Amino acid sequence: MIHLWIEVDDLFQYAVSGIPRPSGIQRVVFELCRALEARHRGDERLGCVRYDSLRQSFSVVAWDEVATLYQVLTTAPSASTRPPPPPIVAADSETRRILKHLLYRLPEEIRRPVSRLARAQLESLRAVGELGRGIWNISKRRPQAVRPHGADFAQVVASGDIFLTLGATWGHPEHLEVLRALQQRHGLRMALLLHDTIPVKHPEWFESGFVRAFRTWLEDVLRLYGTLMAVSHASANDVQAYAGRHGIPLSGPVHVIPQGSGFGEAPADAAAPPSRKLPPPGTYALFVSTIEARKNHALLMRVWQRLLDDMPTEAVPTLVFAGRVGWLVADLMQQLDNTGWLDGRIVLVEDPTDAELATLYRGCLFTLFPSLYEGWGLPVTESLAFGKPCIASNVTAVPEAGGSLARYFDPENVAEATRVIRATIEDRAGLAAWEEQVRREFHPVTWAAAADALIATLRQDTATAR
């Protein structure tokens, strides 16, 4: 076992960002960390670290603290405050509901800066320690510790150790300078798992400030990190193409690490019943994703409008959006409101817990994933892991996730998407046979196998470097 330090700061930064549920990247980070910890439990050569902005250094973090944080993020009662149409019922305070309702109706150019300002204020308070516990205790179940309190990483790191970054660290670029100094002083080997290059490949789907920050981060890490890994062949190709276009020499090929399928082993209380009413099993199609322009919810709205125009209303299943409301979707949210969410045939389950997600997956007829661009496509493999057919877009890494068991359409083509989805709805016998095929033939990649592949890549690169 090589001496491996895993950077988990992304998870802690995410927890204080005000976003109630982990995104796909944070899920991958935690599942890989959990698999590595389970493989090497008690081994002093495996540790977690996070960045301490006050000391401008990294601190060692106990695994139990990481696990507790993630359990709270995925199992605590939903803080969703946007009132969805029936039959989903929001269960939040009226004050928070009204505030978020108003926020959504601000123009995009105002809503985004207001959101960023609020998050910046929270982080400032956290950093100086003032009201830290109050901020952290958004719910009574959140961990009490808000600052790194373990050993100084610089005091325990040794020459030849590997520093592994699995998540999204572009939100605090100053720590790259600290890493660069540690690398030079201690001979650290640097390893990075890249998820995608979407902000620089398609900047139209992001706020301009974020695009600039991501581009700077990407070019810095491509130069700093010696071992580069990616979550898919599509992402690996994108990274290598970007480096080639911008004259950035890479130390070697970008290795592809297979991704685990679905949720890892649930914590004890994740099996608790959902905290709110969900649609009856067998009555709905499911789309699990943050609502943002790239994910292409707008296409599904148009598809469902056509289905309701051309089919008996009772023959069209409800369409469930499960996820938080993100960015660049103000027009879509207004259109949904204006139509009464297609008279209640589209519903929103905002910020679902893992227990609610599992219930939604098990009860759906099939899932949908019309994304225009993905680094992987975690909801596709989640769907298959639950034994549910998935109809997905045929671009970027999505077919890598779905393989031969998913069905595909052009995410730019409403007519084609409508045709594929309608054929599935109308052929219930065929759908049942497809579901049986998924249950019989899908062989999930375990997170343990993904972690083993990661370790094998690190060992290979370490041996090559010697």
Domain boundaries along the sequence of the chain: 4-79+138-260+449-465, 270-441
User: Where does the pLDDT of residue 288 fall: very low under 50, low under 70, confident under 90, or very high at 90 and above?
Assistant: very high
288-300 average pLDDT score: 97
Write down the pLDDT at residue 135.
34
| pLDDT of 141 over the 50 cut | no
pLDDT tens digits for range 316-371:
999 999 999 998 999 999 999 999 999 999 999 999 988 899 999 999 999 999 99
Q: What is the CATH number of domain 270-441?
A: 3.40.50.2000
77-101 average pLDDT score: 43
Write down the pLDDT at residue 74.
78
User: Where does the pLDDT of residue 16 fall: very low under 50, low under 70, confident under 90, or very high at 90 and above?
Assistant: confident
User: Where does the pLDDT of residue 450 fall: very low under 50, low under 70, confident under 90, or very high at 90 and above?
Assistant: very high
Write down the pLDDT at residue 270.
46
User: Where does the pLDDT of residue 263 fall: very low under 50, low under 70, confident under 90, or very high at 90 and above?
Assistant: confident
Write down the pLDDT at residue 342.
97
Write down the pLDDT at residue 94.
42
Write down the pLDDT at residue 451.
94
Write down the pLDDT at residue 53.
77
Write down the pLDDT at residue 159.
87
User: Where does the pLDDT of residue 112 fall: very low under 50, low under 70, confident under 90, or very high at 90 and above?
Assistant: low
Percent of the chain with pLDDT strictly greater than 70: 79
Task: Point out the least confidently predicted range of 90-99, 406-415, 419-428.
Answer: 90-99
CATH of range 4-79+138-260+449-465; options 3.40.50, 1.20.120, 3.30.565, 1.10.10:
3.40.50
Given this chain, do its domains 4-79+138-260+449-465 and 270-441 carry the same CATH topology? yes
Task: Point out the least confidently predicted range of 54-58, 93-97, 289-293, 412-416.
Answer: 93-97
Write down the pLDDT at residue 106.
57
Write down the pLDDT at residue 84.
40
Write down the pLDDT at residue 265.
56
Write down the pLDDT at residue 114.
59
Write down the pLDDT at residue 93.
39
User: Where does the pLDDT of residue 151 fall: very low under 50, low under 70, confident under 90, or very high at 90 and above?
Assistant: confident
User: Omega into 279 within 30° of 0, i.e. cis?
Assistant: no
Task: Point out the least confidently predicted range of 65-74, 227-236, 434-443.
Answer: 65-74
198-220 average pLDDT score: 94
Write down the pLDDT at residue 274.
61
13-38 average pLDDT score: 84
Write down the pLDDT at residue 11.
85
User: Where does the pLDDT of residue 275 fall: very low under 50, low under 70, confident under 90, or very high at 90 and above?
Assistant: low
